[in-house]
Chain A
Amino acid sequence: MKSIHFAEEHEQLRTQVARFIDKEVRPAAPAWEEEGMVPREVLQSMGEMGLLGIRYPDAFGGSNAGPLSTVVFAEECGKSGFGGFSATVLVHTDMASPHLVHAGNREQLDRYLGPIIRGEQITAVAITEPDAGSDVAGLRTRARREGDSYVLNGSKMFITNGVHADVYFVAARTNPEAKGASGISMFIVEKDAPGFNVGRQLQKTGWLCSDTAELVFDECRIPAENLLGEENKGFYSVMQNFQNERLVLAAMALGECERGLEVTWDYVRGRKAFGGVLSDKQGIRQRLAMLEARVNAAQQFLYHVGWLMEEDIECTKDVSMLKALCGELVNEVMYTCQQFHGGMGYIQESEIERMVRDARIHSIGGGATEVMLEEVAKRSLQ
């Protein structure tokens, strides 16, 4: 609760988000899981609360707050216990729209940022391809210049908000001769661009209320002014945005850990067995206590990395460690929490059952554990 990193406004933000999730998300989200999406009105309500423009300029309706506010927001989203809800929101706020804000010119900001902050236009970021995931530099979607247009060809895979987004930030190769990282550019593609198609909605293990799609670009023509940032320099902005993305995913994972442990402490306190309750068993209570200790330790690391970002201190190694750590920890926490729910943990009506499924992606998506550890190891070996 008390922390050297957080000021009054962070606590107020936390309280407001928690209240919103308690009232508007937890009761309604089971239905969203069935429908496979978060209703747009919910995102608009969050827009009204100022939650979709936390770090963005106030001239566009944002709040000019810093990374620690984002950390608070993502933790509270995680605590909802609905990973699909968190993914829908956080991809919009912290993985997709930052591409616009960091690289967009005045006209692009004027056109898109207001509706994005208000939740009227939802965004997606399309980097991963069927044949290029961790190896971002291996992406093959092409964009060729034709007069005052660019024409895109290729496909994108696993794109969050892919089915229902309005605006997509798409990475494509503008220089086919250039190998690897150079020769990649970012583009703004609107939903109704000719030649842009949502290939299919993907059926996932978890994150059920988040829509995930394969996208197909077939001679997709967009105006040349939709180039985002400098041509052939897209890879570097992707890498830059990954830092925030990973911070946010770590915060979300730790929010989930907190909720999972809370639910499980509650469960073992009430579950009768062997003449008492499960929480009488040291084998259970000590394991939960140790997990809680590790989650608390990871949280302090999270806040520290959030603070480094707040101070603009280079922290790629720290962020990579944090992402690897939290992506694994949330899986350990959920595995054990499910275990101590006994048979009930395997049944869909228990909250933990969904949280287990939602946790799995944390060690894969947005920088898989192995890839994060490579980022760490490279720097340790330097």
Chain B
Amino acid sequence: MKILVPVKRVVDYNVKVRVKADGSGVETANVKMSMNPFDEIAVEEAVRLKEKGVAEEVVVVSMGVSQCQETIRTALAMGGDRGILVETDDELEPLAVAKMLKGLAEKESPDMVILGKQAIDDDANQTGQMFAALMGWGQGTFASEVDIQDGSIQVTREIDGGAETVKLKLPAVVTTDLRLNEPRYAKLPNIMKAKKKQLDTLSPADLGVDTTPRLKTVKVAEPPKRQGGIKVADVAELVDKLKNEAKVI
């Protein structure tokens, strides 16, 4: 089978994100960028399926600025076979990404598309679902276990209060949760080899997609600073405050 893995370039999880002075977004100039950690899990799962002989080809795709190539190369260093960059400087919303994925899925005809359940920058948690809907494919979101059987996938999903197991007909969409696997380190020899792997570049227009945002960002602001705590005299006062001030009990 053939697996398509979309990966997103995001501000590195270690970076303390700062809001731009004009409130238009977060500062990304001179900030370390990496692959969205949930997408790393998706790459890992696809590569494992390839190593098990279940998959023949793992195609990695990213959408965005030309530097997204670095993100694709990292995935190739982890074991992806080739990459596709859909290059654009536009801000991309989940719907636009899902539409471009549809265009790519029609070109590439993968049996499975596996991607992160959300990206750690905008936390939208929409792309996988929208893409599945556009394709009319089954979806197994928040996967903590993926088991490929003849012509179908069994996905264990993390849901409120436990795990749910669904069976999907191929082709299908899987979105990854944290417990699915522990992504490997890209080995240096593979980083060097990944430089030579095929990486094609397309534009949104090649896929017939208009990426114009449907939403307008009004303002981006820092969360309020944490207030200092207070000391209470006794349990009675604590209970009173929790009940009447914080209104949590």
Q: Which of A10-18, A200-208, A369-377 contacts B (4 or more CB under 8 A)?
A: A10-18
* Interface assignment of A20: CB less than 8 Å from any CB of chain B: yes
Bound Cα distance A219, B31 (Å): 58
Query: Would you call B69 an interface residue if the criterion is a C-beta within 8 Å of the partner chain's C-beta atoms?
Result: yes
Task: Report chain B residues within 8 Å CB of A271.
Answer: none
Q: Which residue of A lies closest to B76 (CB)?
A: A12
Cα distance, A9 to B70, chains bound together (Å): 8
| Contact, CB under 8 Å: A16 / B185 | yes
B32 within 8 A of A: yes
Interface residue A48 (Cβ < 8 Å from any Cβ of B): yes
Residues in chain A near residue B77, CB distance under 8 A:
12
Q: Determine whether the beta carbon of B191 is less than 8 Å from that of A13.
A: yes
Q: Which of A9, A58, A62 contacts B191 (CB 8 A)?
A: A9
B186–A12 touching, CB < 8 Å: yes
Contact (A63, B188) CB under 8 Å given A8-B73, A9-B195, A12-B70: yes
- Is the Cβ of B187 less than 8 Å from the Cβ of A65? no
Contact check, B30 vs A50: say whether CB atoms are below 8 A apart.
no
**Which parts of A5-40 form the interface with B (CB within 8 Å)?**
8-9, 11-13, 15-16, 19-20, 22
Query: Which among B32, B70, B186 is the interface contact of A16 at CB below 8 angstroms?
Result: B186
User: Which residue from chain B places its CB closest to the CB of A8 in the assembled complex?
Assistant: B70
- Give the distance to chain A from B54, nearest Cβ to Cβ, in Å: 24
**A13 to B69, Cβ gap below 8 A?**
no
- On chain B, the residues within 8 Å of A13 by CB distance are 188, 191
Asked whether, in the complex, the Cβ of A65 is within 8 Å of the Cβ of B69, the reply is no
> In whole angstroms, what is the CA distance A2 to B31 when docked?
10
Cβ-based interface call for A306 (8 A): no
| Distance between A178 CB and nearest chain B CB, rounded to angstroms | 41
Interface residues on B, range: 20 to 34
Query: Taking CB as reference atom, which chain A residue is nearest B67?
Result: A8
Q: Which residue of A lies closest to B35 (CB)?
A: A15
Residues on A with beta carbons closer than 8 Å to the beta carbon of B192: 9, 63-65
A54 CB within 8 Å of chain B: yes
Q: Which residues of A contact B30 (CB under 8 A)?
A: 1-2
| Nearest neighbor of A54 in chain B, beta-carbon distance | B188
Given the complex, which residues of A lie within 8 Å of B127, measured CB to CB?
Answer: none
| Closest partner residue, chain B, to A266 (CB atom) | B16
Please measure, in the bound complex, the distance between the C-alpha atom of A50 and the C-alpha atom of B184, giving whole angstroms. 13
- CB of B53 within 8 Å of the partner chain: no
**CA of A12 to CA of B187, assembled, Å:** 10
Q: A9-B195, A15-B74 are in contact. Are A49 and B188 (CB under 8 A)?
A: yes
| Residues on the A chain within 8 Å of B195, using CB | 8-9
Q: Does A67 interact with chain B (Cβ within 8 Å)?
A: no
Q: Which of B31, B73, B188, B192 counts the most chain A CB atoms within 10 A?
A: B188
Q: Considering only CB atoms and an 8 Å cut-off, how many residues of chain A contact the other chain?
A: 25
The complex places the Cα of A204 from the Cα of B191 at a distance, in Å, of: 38
Given A2-B30, A12-B74, A50 and B14 contact (CB-CB distance below 8 Å): no
Whether B32 contacts A1 by the Cβ 8 Å rule is yes
Q: Could you say which of B34, B70, B188, B190 contacts A65, with CB atoms under 8 Å apart?
A: B188
The number of A-B residue pairs with CB atoms under 8 Å apart is 54
List, in ascending order, chain A residues with CB within 8 A of B74's CB: 12, 15
**B189 contacts which of A2, A11, A61 (Cβ < 8 Å)?**
A61
A352 at the B interface (CB under 8 A): no
Partner of B14, one of A8, A12, A22, A51: A22
In the complex, which residues of chain B have a beta carbon less than 8 angstroms from the beta carbon of A20?
185
Taking the closest CB of chain B, its distance from the CB of A40, in whole angstroms, is 18
Please indicate which of the listed interface residues B14, B69, B74, B192 has the most CB atoms of chain A within 10 Å of its own CB.
B192
Asked if residues B69 and A50 are in contact (CB atoms below 8 Å), the reply is no
B32 near A12: Cβ-Cβ < 8 Å: no
B191 to A12, Cβ gap below 8 A? yes
Rounded to whole angstroms, the CA-CA distance of A351 and B34 in the bound complex is: 27
Whole-angstrom CA separation of A65 from B189 in the bound complex: 9
Would you give the shortest CB distance from B166 to chain A, in whole angstroms?
32
- Complex Cα spacing A62 to B188, Å: 9
Assembled-state Cα–Cα distance A16/B184 (Å): 10
- Write out the residue numbers on chain B whose beta carbons fall within 8 Å of the beta carbon of A1: 30-32
B187 near A48 with CB under 8 A, answer yes
| Nearest CB of chain B from residue A323's CB, rounded to whole Å | 25
A58 surroundings in chain B (CB, below 8 A): 189
Residues of B within 8 A of A51 (CB): 188
Q: How far is the CB of B24 from the nearest CB of chain A, in Å?
A: 22
| Residues of B with C-beta under 8 A to A50 | 187-191
* B9 smallest CB distance to A (angstroms): 12
CA–CA, A376 to B28, complex, Å? 41
Tell me the smallest distance from the CB of B81 to a CB of chain A, in Å. 17
> How far is it, in angstroms, between the C-alpha of A2 and the C-alpha of B70 when the chains are bound?
13
A1 and B11 alpha carbons, distance in the complex (Å) = 13
B:25-72 near A, CB below 8 Å: 30-32, 34, 69-70
Among B187, B189, B190, B194, chain A packs the most CB atoms within 10 A around the CB of B189
Bound-complex Cα distance A58 to B192 (A): 10
Q: Which residue of A lies closest to B31 (CB)?
A: A1
Interface positions of B (Cβ within 8 A of A): 14, 30-32, 34, 69-70, 73-74, 77, 185-192, 194-195
Q: A12-B70, A12-B186, A13-B191 are in contact. List 14 more A-B contacts (CB 8 A).
A: A1-B30, A8-B73, A9-B73, A9-B195, A12-B73, A16-B185, A16-B186, A19-B185, A20-B185, A49-B187, A50-B187, A51-B188, A62-B189, A63-B191
| Interface pairs A-B: 4 shortest CB-CB | A50-B188, A50-B187, A63-B188, A50-B189
Interfacial residues, chain A to chain B (CB-CB below 8 A): 1-2, 8-9, 11-13, 15-16, 19-20, 22, 48-51, 53-54, 58, 61-65, 69
